[in-house]
Structure 1
Amino acid sequence: MKGGGGGGGGGAVLVTTGKRRWRSLVIGVLFLVILSMLVPLAFLLGLHNGFHSPNPNPNGYVPVHKTSIVSDLKIYDKYENSETFNYAENYRSTHINDLVKKLAPNISKNSKIAGTVADSGRGGVDENENCELKFGSYCLWRREHREEMKDTMVKKLKDQLFVARAYYPSIAKLPSQDKLTRALRQNIQEVERVLSESATDVDLPPGIEKKIQRMEAAITKAKSVPVDCSNVDKKFRQILDMTNDEANFHMKQSAFLYQLAVQTMPKSLHCLSMRLTVEYFKSPSVVMELSQADRFSDPSLHHYVIFSTNVLASSVLINSTVLCARENKNQVFHVLTDGQNYFAMKLWFFRNTFKEATVQVLNIEQLNLESHDKAILIHMFLPVEYRVSLLSVDGPSIHSKMQYISVFSHLHYLLPEIFQSLTKVVVLDDDVVVQKDLSALWDINMGGKVNGAVQSCSVSLGQLKSYLGENSYDKNSCAWMSGLNIVDLARWRELDLTKTYQRLVREVSMGEESKEAVALRGSLLTFQDLVYALDGVWALSGLGHDYGLNIEAIKKAAVLHYNGNMKPWLELGIPRYKKFWKKFLNQEDQLLSECNVHP
């Protein structure tokens, strides 16, 4: 009996222990279920100031949730306020950042010289500096192209809807305000229905003014009712945060798209290049290369060298040079391009003649230059532009000035070997247009100098010290500009400047600096004390970014340089300067109309 009783007692203990375990399991499951319900509920109720979702309405109207957008389209990572963007937003924008870095060259991580030095795509400025410095030419373009708002009434309705929703939850809790609650709910639903069908003021239905007045009257009455101010304040803060996020997003998105537009070939020009390439291979019987090899290497003629991948820009440049010359029999143009655009260039200059001038198209990838790095010939390096923003103090005020410096690329230092029989050439960037005869350049005695160029004395080499290093050079020397350069190849070979440039390039860590930044340092130091300063009337720069150029000065200049983001063949080009470039465009070619080329 005792044994049986002991066994029964042990069974009771096991049952009790099992029940306790079961109860603990049930409590744990219930706790997890409640917790899983409370977390999303907390987000729905907007219990934290960082949440932007409106409170659910107990009476059933449908709330509008924040649009699902990335609020940090990170373009200029040096401009951002760390309190504005959280980690999650920065993580989501990583892909955009990588894309922007690929689109624009970068000098270094610390872009400061007497204010700022940066390339055409990036810059380094304090967040308190003005919009022009922060986004470059984008702000100027935005002001120039500002359009009248077409959704003023729509925006007003949205504002009213936000305010009504902020007051509605508090008003709905007051039993004495049933009439006002119904009025608010009815107006909210009507405005929601209107906004669901209208994006601009043109889409709004007739009688919208009366709806706005009724909503305004309901909001005014709601404001006069004593309510829980903390709830209303929270709602307005949510609205403010959401509006700021969206405004910041659209501003950065616009700047990004602008930057993308200025660095991407327009569809019409891409079409032109592709059509020319196809036509080239469809006409194998056409003799593309004329037997003019003797002219290509005759040092007594005037030789012009152009590095370009843009068919239209090269054509305008050559056409303007030829039309403005008193004599063009002695003009020879050498267009150096890459393999992708080589055949398009060949066919274009076969179809289009430029009086008695001769045009030679060369593919850099097919040049047999054994003494140079083959990797340089694989890539088409064009003249490099850097945006320079300088701050000057004038009494209590601080003024900023922005301009672009353009220098030779790596390929320019192959000129003495590419044109071994020539002694002097004029190098032209493809973003220039010629307005006067350039033959006088060949009569200039440069006194042993190698590079005849217009100088930009607003930027001295001393201000570029962080990029030029501690080399021995004149800190007060002016930076020179590419665009229009007369180069003494004989003197170049005598001083072996190509070797000097290569040595300067090797001194820079390519892991830290971009190839464009290396080109800036190498070019400015290679020609130290070897630059012949051309008179400023030879070339006027700034037509690709400066809205304030004097029209009379533009008309007097021999060469106009569209340095900057707003190239004349782009839709973003400055309209008042486009006409000086466009008048040299031959629009009679059928392919231009078929590809819708209308710069």
Structure 2
Amino acid sequence: MISRRLVLFLLFITVVSPLVLFTERLGTFTTSSANEGFGEEISTVSFGSETDKLNAVQQESPNKVKEPIGIVYLENSGESLLKSKENLVENDSSLGNTGEHKSRVLSAADDDVQSGGNTSEGGDHIEQVTTKSNENAHIEQVTDQVEREKDENGEESDEAAEINEESKALEEKKVNEDVTSGDKEENKEEVATVHVLPTVQKVEQTAETTPVEMQEEKRKEGPRGRGSRKVIDERQSNPPPMPDFRVRQMRDQLIRARVYQSLGPIRNNPHFIRELRLRVREVQRALGDATRDSQLPRNANDKTKAMEQTLAKAKQIQDDCSTVVKKLRAILQSTEEQLRAHKKQAMFLTQLAAKTLPKGLHCLPLRLSTEYYSLNSSQREFPNQEKLEDAKLYHYALFSDNILAASVVVNSTITHAKEPEKHVFHVVTDKLNYAAMRMWFLANPPGKATIQVQSVDEFTWLNASYSPVLKQLGSSSMIDYYFRTHRANSDSNLKFRNPKYLSILNHLRFYLPEIFPKLQKVLFLDDDIVVRKDLSALWAIDMKGMINGAVETCQESFHRFDRYLNFSNPLIAKNFNPRACGWAYGMNMFDLEEWKKQKITEVYHSWQKLNHDRQLWKLGTLPPGLITFWKRTFPLDKSWHVLGLGYNPNVDQKEIEHAAVIHYNGNMKPWLEIGMPRYRHYWSKHVDYDQVYLRECNINP
């Protein structure tokens, strides 16, 4: 019994007494929280009047850690947010150098908040600012940052300039709002709205960031007006993927594999070399002729990954970078040499294709000539021959041996003519195509228009004793120059030796007054043009005593005189300006009356005699034309004649649509397979491919 009492007594002492004592201690427990339990300083716990330190937590004095406070905004207050920030920064200087983050400058003492005193005392805790003042502070802050950027760099950077423009826009916006608001702003009630602003901390951080960081911050939190700029920046940072990215990657892998195959350590590893060759064949089969990622097979990605793994193994086997670099340089040099050879070959083949007559166009004149000679004499005559010398009508001169091309010129002109019955076409061809040309227009008459087909052999006055160019074209040296291909001293540029320049048809344009003695004006047209508008207005243009009306081509640097004439010759250098503006053949209005008065044909003959050894110019009829009509050319508006459809794939589409005449000058003629598909339809729509002769010769669009 005694022992039982002893046990109960000890139990009371060891268990119940501590509980009673600890409960009494809790009665004196107090905290220093300013936020009703959640703002308690963990590092300090008070019991009564004593302050016990927790050794596990780094200690801070109560004066250093302060509660983040709110800022009250009053709409009509005159203070700015920037000044508020400066005051808070000054107050923060009293906290000492503790290395704490700058966001703590907006804190206040716990006992100040708990006491419920006036938080505006000293201007340290609550700042009253207006919404407009917020904008002013933002403008001042950004402007100061731009000025600092300008002082540091000596000039405004692009980012700083952009930010400066934005700040000016905000200032203008504020001024406009002040003007429009008027007295209405003065009579508003002052409504204070308390905002707990973590963004105030961002304002202070912005003052210490670079203009680029400020710009990024404004993009994230700026007004809706900057949304479009944000979209543009996102597009610039995330450019759209290239449509041939994987194709290029696979080609690069093949190049790298070829390099590794040629290196010694790789060749000495037969097992790996078999694996590498297998991967090369797989990638080659997957790549095929694809030029875009969408053309690749589904397993292309797997083949690319497998090749990349094999190349990684090769890199481990051959770790000598200098050897790989040397091999790549050798491949690069070899590729450049091959490229030069291919370019030279491509130029030769292009010139050859331009000189070659397609099979269908060779068949057509044979078929037409056979049909023509089966007609009787009465069926071989054209109607309306009385109009051929009527000077009041619109006369065209067309010199060509291409039947299909000549028909397109006539058809396109008549299609767009307002009064087709007033248009007269004078077609001159050679003896070989004379019958075929006549038969074509007999079978396909040009509507109400009048047509005449002549042979150059009918001009008996045009002979070698009269024309120096005819004498030169018939000389053995000229024929040898145009046709030689393997001589060591032959001209490297094939275009200077095109045999078409041996044809007298190409030089008839210098004898227009002799061919049409009773006409006053003639519009000369090449056979590689297409007419898109009515041309009758050209006859009403006053050329102010000039002889040749043409469109100038000096907007392109290679259409200057120095590109056609040899200015190293003193005769050329003395008489002409190398930077003079060139003009184009193809659509030219010639005043034959002025031609005769100024004796232009004699001028042409004199220069041709001086160029008997081809030391003044080499190519075609444009150089002697530039010389003959020097200071005698009237510039027409460029919309009359648009050039380049035979060599330039980037002719402006708007210029084509507004052009009266489009010209396929160059080697890529629309009737050849090498013609550019982009421009061919302008020409082909004037060809009736259902015509019986075209079907028989298998001429298709």
Q: Same fold (TM over 0.5)?
A: yes
Q: Which has the higher contact order (CA 8 A, sep 6+)?
A: 1
The Cα of 1:574 is off from its aligned counterpart by 4.3
The Cα of 1:164 is off from its aligned counterpart by 4.5
Task: Look up the match of 1:393.
Answer: none
The Cα of 1:154 is off from its aligned counterpart by 8.5
2:551/2:641 contact within 8 Å kept? yes
Task: Look up the match of 1:469.
Answer: 572
Q: Deviations over 1:238-293 (max 9, x none)?
A: 54444444444444444443444445444443333343344444556783233755
Task: Look up the match of 1:448.
Answer: 545
Distance 1:222 1:281, change over 3 A: same
1:533 is the counterpart of 2:625: no
Provide the C-alpha distance between the structure 1 equivalents of 2:468 and 2:606, rounded to a whole number of angstroms.
17
Q: Deviations over 1:201-223 (max 9, x none)?
A: 79x99989888766655553343
Task: Look up the match of 1:125.
Answer: none
Q: Report the structure number with the largest CA radius of gyration.
A: 2
Distance 1:378 1:234, change over 3 A: closer
Task: Look up the match of 2:435.
Answer: 343
Paired residue for 1:162, among 250, 258, 273?
258
Paired residue for 1:183, among 271, 287, 290?
271
Distance 1:223 1:338, change over 3 A: same
The Cα of 1:198 is off from its aligned counterpart by 9.8
What's the secondary structure of 2:434's corresponding residue? Answer: helix
The structure whose residues are more often helix, as a share, is 2
Report the TM-score when normalising by structure 2.
0.50
Distance 1:264 1:148, change over 3 A: farther
1:457/1:479 contact within 8 Å kept? yes
Q: Deviations over 1:486-524 (max 9, x none)?
A: 22223322322111110011122424466535x344322
Provide the C-alpha distance between the structure 2 equivalents of 1:511 and 1:378, rounded to a whole number of angstroms.
10
What's the secondary structure of 1:368's corresponding residue? Answer: coil
Task: Look up the match of 1:492.
Answer: 595
Provide the C-alpha distance between the structure 2 equivalents of 1:568 and 1:363, rounded to a whole number of angstroms.
25
Q: Deviations over 1:168-190 (max 9, x none)?
A: x43566xxxxxxx2412433665
Task: Look up the match of 1:438.
Answer: 535
Q: Deviations over 1:60-98 (max 9, x none)?
A: xxxxxxxxxxxxxxxxxxxxxxxxxxxxxxxxxxxxxxx
1:481 is the counterpart of 2:597: no
What value does the CA root-mean-square deviation take over the aligned residues?
4.3
Task: Look up the match of 1:417.
Answer: 514
2:468/2:608 contact within 8 Å kept? no
2:260/2:266 contact within 8 Å kept? no
Which AA in structure 2 matches 1:451?
Answer: N
What's the secondary structure of 2:549's corresponding residue? Answer: strand
Q: Equivalent residues in 2 for 1:15-164 (5 A)?
A: 158-159=254-255, 162-164=258-260
Provide the C-alpha distance between the structure 2 equivalents of 1:342 and 1:150, rounded to a whole number of angstroms.
57
Q: Deviations over 1:2-39 (max 9, x none)?
A: xxxxxxxxxxxxxxxxxxxxxxxxxxxxxxxxxxxxxx
Paired residue for 1:312, among 404, 417, 420?
404
Provide the C-alpha distance between the structure 1 equivalents of 2:315 and 2:246, rounded to a whole number of angstroms.
30
Which AA in structure 2 matches 1:376?
Answer: L
1:314/1:430 contact within 8 Å kept? yes
The Cα of 1:347 is off from its aligned counterpart by 1.6
What's the secondary structure of 2:683's corresponding residue? Answer: helix
Provide the C-alpha distance between the structure 1 equivalents of 2:359 and 2:453, rounded to a whole number of angstroms.
23
Which AA in structure 2 matches 1:555?
Answer: E
Provide the C-alpha distance between the structure 1 equivalents of 2:471 and 2:612, rounded to a whole number of angstroms.
21
Distance 1:192 1:462, change over 3 A: closer
2:564/2:619 contact within 8 Å kept? no
What's the secondary structure of 2:597's corresponding residue? Answer: helix
1:358 is the counterpart of 2:450: yes
Aligned pair count reads 417
Paired residue for 1:372, among 437, 447, 466?
466
Which AA in structure 1 matches 2:596?
Answer: R
Task: Look up the match of 1:587.
Answer: 689
Which AA in structure 1 matches 2:523?
Answer: V
Distance 1:434 1:379, change over 3 A: farther
Structure 1: gaps of 5 or more residues: 1-146, 174-180, 381-407
Provide the C-alpha distance between the structure 1 equivalents of 2:430 and 2:607, rounded to a whole number of angstroms.
26
Provide the C-alpha distance between the structure 2 equivalents of 1:229 and 1:460, rounded to a whole number of angstroms.
51
Provide the C-alpha distance between the structure 1 equivalents of 2:655 and 2:281, rounded to a whole number of angstroms.
57
Distance 1:200 1:496, change over 3 A: same
1:566/1:573 contact within 8 Å kept? yes
Q: Deviations over 1:335-357 (max 9, x none)?
A: 12223332321221111011121
Provide the C-alpha distance between the structure 1 equivalents of 2:329 and 2:299, rounded to a whole number of angstroms.
32
Report the TM-score when normalising by structure 1.
0.58
Provide the C-alpha distance between the structure 2 equivalents of 1:153 and 1:593, rounded to a whole number of angstroms.
48
- Structure 1 range deviating more: 286-295 or 205-214: 205-214
1:276 is the counterpart of 2:368: yes
Provide the C-alpha distance between the structure 2 equivalents of 1:159 and 1:577, rounded to a whole number of angstroms.
37
What's the secondary structure of 1:481's corresponding residue? Answer: coil
The Cα of 1:589 is off from its aligned counterpart by 1.0
Provide the C-alpha distance between the structure 2 equivalents of 1:444 and 1:226, rounded to a whole number of angstroms.
77
What's the secondary structure of 2:586's corresponding residue? Answer: strand
Provide the C-alpha distance between the structure 1 equivalents of 2:639 and 2:298, rounded to a whole number of angstroms.
61
The structure whose residues are more often strand, as a share, is 1
Distance 1:216 1:595, change over 3 A: same
Paired residue for 2:349, among 257, 280, 285?
257
Question: Structure 1 segments of 4 or more deviating over 6 A?
Answer: 147-154, 191-199, 204-215, 226-234, 377-380, 462-465
